[in-house]
Amino acid sequence: MQQEQSNRFKRRTVDIDKLKQRQQTKAMRRRVFYVGLFLALSVVFAAVCFLVLFKIKTVEVEGSTRYTAEEIIKAFGVEEGSNLYSFTASALEEKMVMELPYLSKVEIERDLPSTVVIHVTEKQPEMYVEISGDRYLLTDNMQILEYTDDPSKLYGLLRVDMEPETVARCIVGEKLLFADVRTGDVVEQAYADIIDAGMVNRVNYIDANNRFGIYLGVDGKYDIYMGDIEEFDTKLAFAIGILEKLSTIPGDTGNGTIDVSEINKGVFRPN
């Protein structure tokens, strides 16, 4: 009798355990079903948003003065009515900088639900070079911004004197390349040192046809022979000191050449 009661208790325990297992399995299936349903609905919603919503209705341009909004939007190249996520912003930003030389940076912003804002930062011409009568505006790192026949655009820019045979490649949007590949680096460094010395408004030209014999034109009256680019900043500081001494001499010293190619040795020769 006792054994029979024990067997009944065990069967009852087993039945309860099986019932609990079935309930847990059903609960798990319900959770899986609802999670799957939620994911499916999310995919459908995302697809609807992508295909139906977020259409481009407005493209705005901020920061541009060199180019019109129409020119910027044309370079952007994504038509109104396209989906707001149908393009890769970083790829278009690089493309626009390549197509429009005056742009140094482009940031494309999606403003939900239907607007694209294009933020642009522009380069400024710092120098110009004249090659066989053609003038090209340059940035401080020798990128060619544009060809110009308008003399007013040259005002305030430093002139880079180069003979045609020293130039290897001159294409708008690219860097000016020289037959001697080091020449571009020399001009860039010389210009940076001129900026640091506060002389940019006094230096009229850089002549680096021979990168071992660089000349600067200063104040429209002095030709300064700098030699090579080594210790250019020191030689430039020395030349400034000589210019200050010349300014204290009574009367007009006239035009002349200042030689500072050797450190701590300067010579002024009137013309």
The answer on 241 and 185 residing in a single domain is yes
Q: Domain boundary residue among 72, 89, 122?
A: 122
H/E stretch holding 215: strand 214-218
The answer on 251 and 185 residing in a single domain is yes
pTM more than 0.95: no
The answer on 65 and 115 residing in a single domain is yes
The answer on 263 and 174 residing in a single domain is yes
The answer on 65 and 175 residing in a single domain is no
Q: What is the CATH number of the domain that holds 184?
A: 3.40.50.11690
Distance between start and end Cα atoms, the chain? 136
pLDDT for position 16: 63
How far apart are alpha carbons 192 and 233 in whole angstroms?
9
The answer on 233 and 210 residing in a single domain is yes
Cα dihedral 167, 168, 172, 176 sign: negative
From the list 197, 239, 250, the residue with the least C-alpha distance to 214 is: 239
Q: What is the CATH number of the domain that holds 79?
A: 3.10.20.310
The answer on 261 and 151 residing in a single domain is yes
Q: For 179-185, which contacts have Cβ atoms below 8 Å and span 24 or more sequence positions?
A: 180/211, 182/211, 183/208, 183/211, 184/142
Q: Domain boundary residue among 92, 122, 152?
A: 122
The answer on 82 and 200 residing in a single domain is no
pLDDT per residue as tens, the chain (271 positions): 545 555 554 555 556 666 667 667 766 777 776 777 677 777 666 666 565 677 899 999 999 888 999 999 999 999 888 888 889 999 999 999 989 999 999 999 999 888 999 999 999 999 999 998 899 999 999 999 999 999 999 999 999 999 999 999 999 999 999 999 899 999 999 999 999 999 999 999 999 999 999 999 999 999 999 999 999 999 999 999 999 998 888 877 778 999 999 987 888 888 8
pLDDT for position 130: 92
pLDDT for position 49: 59
Residue range 106-119, pLDDT digits in tens: 999 999 888 999 99
Question: Into how many domains does the chain fold?
Answer: 3
pLDDT for position 190: 96
Helical H runs in the chain?
2-51, 69-76, 89-99, 182-196, 232-248
Could you tell me which residues come within 8 angstroms of residue 93 by beta carbon, excluding any fewer than 6 positions away?
Answer: 105, 106, 107, 108
The answer on 161 and 34 residing in a single domain is no
> Which tokens is 147 given?
């060809």
Instruction: Name the residue range of residue 252's domain.
Output: 127-270
From the list 188, 270, 189, the residue with the least C-alpha distance to 235 is: 189
The answer on 62 and 46 residing in a single domain is no
The answer on 132 and 118 residing in a single domain is no
Q: Domain boundary residue among 122, 152, 171?
A: 122
The answer on 178 and 103 residing in a single domain is no
